[in-house]
Amino acid sequence: MSNRVLVFDTTLRDGEQSPGVRLSVTEKIEIGRQLVDLGVDIIEAGFPISSPGDFESVHTLATELKGVTVCGLTRAREKDIEVAAEALKPAERRRIHTGLGVSENHLQFKLKMTADQALETGVRAVKHARKFTDDIEYFMEDSGRADPDYVYRVVEEVIKAGATTINVPDTTGYTYPNEYYHLIKGIIENVPNSDKAIFSCHCHNDLGMATANTLAGVMGGARQVEVTVNGIGERAGNTALEEVIMALYIRSDKFHCQTGVDTKKLLPISRMVAKLTGMVVQRNKAVVGANAYAHSSGIHQDGVLKDRSTYEIIDPLLVGADRSEIILTARSGRHGLKFRLHEMGFDFNADRFEHLYNEFVKMADTKQEVDEEDLRELVNK
């Protein structure tokens, strides 16, 4: 099994499905170009049949983006596939992403089909899509709640029909890591032709487990991850690109896998997507949040100032951040204050420093943060 994990970015499709988000074609191109620069392998540009605007976006991205596979989503319907194929025509490399539900819930309530009818529909869709490209990804919606034996049957048949990537979505964010690991591993071990396809993790974050499940899927043998920048997406969102990339990198001792992503570009793209979508990144968000490399308590500051590795497993430079920050609050101690004063060019003897520290503590109790301006005021006094 290869140790290269493909990164399939769906910020512009599943991410854009976030309630309240609407990106113009120009904004999509801006994000698309930055995704190429970041080093993702596949960009899901949209769902071409869903609206003329989405068709235009996919067509424009397919025209403009070079050095990446551009993908369009379709339902398992001929018309959808033909429209997607048309939108993707100018792409250097194009992928059609088709499929339908596999859980009893989706079969009964949404598709109103028997399992056999859904399987036949899926196989027909793959065969039709193969007329336009040989890069076909098949999604089995709601795999996380499906009967694994049915999933195995579907996988075997759609691979025979020509699917080259099999997406195993935990559409509702229902599974937990051990379950998702066994789902992927079970497919690879039980489907006779599983060596003919790449398996892909597509996890939603309803229970806050999207990243953990995606990583569990990689452990189980998946070699593609479907992610969005900042984890934006339907409901509680999709798997966050930056979290998966950094987890694979920092814990390479466990995963032994590589991606083509340039980690130094993670923070710039996170900021760009937040700005263009209006989806603000929470301060304590892993990897790209404003507090991710900030230390405010005295105990932590003491450790980090002696050696960064005491409280930081990611070097901020690795993700494109400037450096770790020492934030002064009422919980900070002498080491942090001394460090910040030194940075500003002030070094005091022990008595004067002690006096300043006492004044600092009084001020810190009245504020969320003592900033540089406050420090100057203290020093001037």
Q: Which residues bind ligand KIV (CB under 6 A)?
A: 14, 139, 141, 167, 169, 171, 202, 204
Which option in Zn ion, ligand KIV, none does residue 55 bind, with CB closer than 5 to 8 A by kind? none
Q: Which two tokens stand for residue 4?
A: 């290269």
Phi (first) and psi of residue 243, to 5 degrees: -70, -45
- Listing DSSP states for 79-123 in one string gives HHHHHHHHHHTT-SEEEEEEEEE-SHHIIIIII---HHHHHHHHH
Task: Decide whether 169 or 217 has the Cβ nearer to ligand KIV.
Answer: 169
| Distance of alpha carbon 38 from alpha carbon 36, whole angstroms | 5
Minimum distance from CB of 14 to ligand KIV (Å)? 5
Minimum distance from CB of 14 to Zn ion (Å)? 4
Minimum distance from CB of 228 to Zn ion (Å)? 9
Element (H, E) at 8: strand 6-9
Minimum distance from CB of 4 to ligand KIV (Å)? 22
Which option in ligand KIV, Zn ion, none does residue 139 bind, with CB closer than 5 to 8 A by kind? ligand KIV
Taking CB under 5 A as the binding criterion, the range among 1-9, 11-19, 256-264, 358-366 that sits at the site for Zn ion is 11-19
In Å, the largest CA–CA distance within the chain is 83
| Distance of alpha carbon 245 from alpha carbon 267, whole angstroms | 12
Minimum distance from CB of 139 to Zn ion (Å)? 8
Asked if 157 touches Zn ion (CB under 5 A), the answer is no
Task: Decide whether 138 or 293 has the Cβ nearer to ligand KIV.
Answer: 138
Reduce the DSSP state of residue 273 to 3 states and report it: helix
Which option in ligand KIV, Zn ion, none does residue 300 bind, with CB closer than 5 to 8 A by kind? none
Minimum distance from CB of 141 to ligand KIV (Å)? 4
Taking CB under 5 A as the binding criterion, the range among 9-17, 267-275, 327-335, 362-370 that sits at the site for Zn ion is 9-17
Phi (first) and psi of residue 54, to 5 degrees: -70, -35
Task: Decide whether 235 or 355 has the Cβ nearer to Zn ion.
Answer: 235
Task: Decide whether 167 or 324 has the Cβ nearer to ligand KIV.
Answer: 167
- Listing DSSP states for 28-65 in one string gives HHHHHHHHHHHT-SEEEEE-GGG-HHHHHHHHHHHHH-
Q: Which of residues 248-267 bind Zn ion (CB under 5 A)?
A: none
Task: Decide whether 14 or 16 has the Cβ nearer to Zn ion.
Answer: 14
Which option in ligand KIV, Zn ion, none does residue 141 bind, with CB closer than 5 to 8 A by kind? ligand KIV
Task: Decide whether 147 or 262 has the Cβ nearer to ligand KIV.
Answer: 147
| Distance of alpha carbon 369 from alpha carbon 277, whole angstroms | 29
Task: Decide whether 167 or 332 has the Cβ nearer to ligand KIV.
Answer: 167
Which option in ligand KIV, Zn ion, none does residue 167 bind, with CB closer than 5 to 8 A by kind? ligand KIV
Dihedral, 110, 114, 119, 120 alpha carbons, nearest 10: -110
| Distance of alpha carbon 74 from alpha carbon 154, whole angstroms | 18
Which option in ligand KIV, Zn ion, none does residue 8 bind, with CB closer than 5 to 8 A by kind? none
Reported for 338-342, long-range contacts at CB under 8 A and 24+ positions apart, including other chains, are: 339/301, 339/305, 340/372, 340/375, 341/375, 341/379
CB 328 within 8 A of CB 321: no
Among 9, 11, 14, 316, binds Zn ion (CB under 5 A): 14
Q: Where are the beta strands (DSSP E) in 210-302?
A: 224-227, 294-295
Residues that bind Zn ion (CB under 5 A): 14
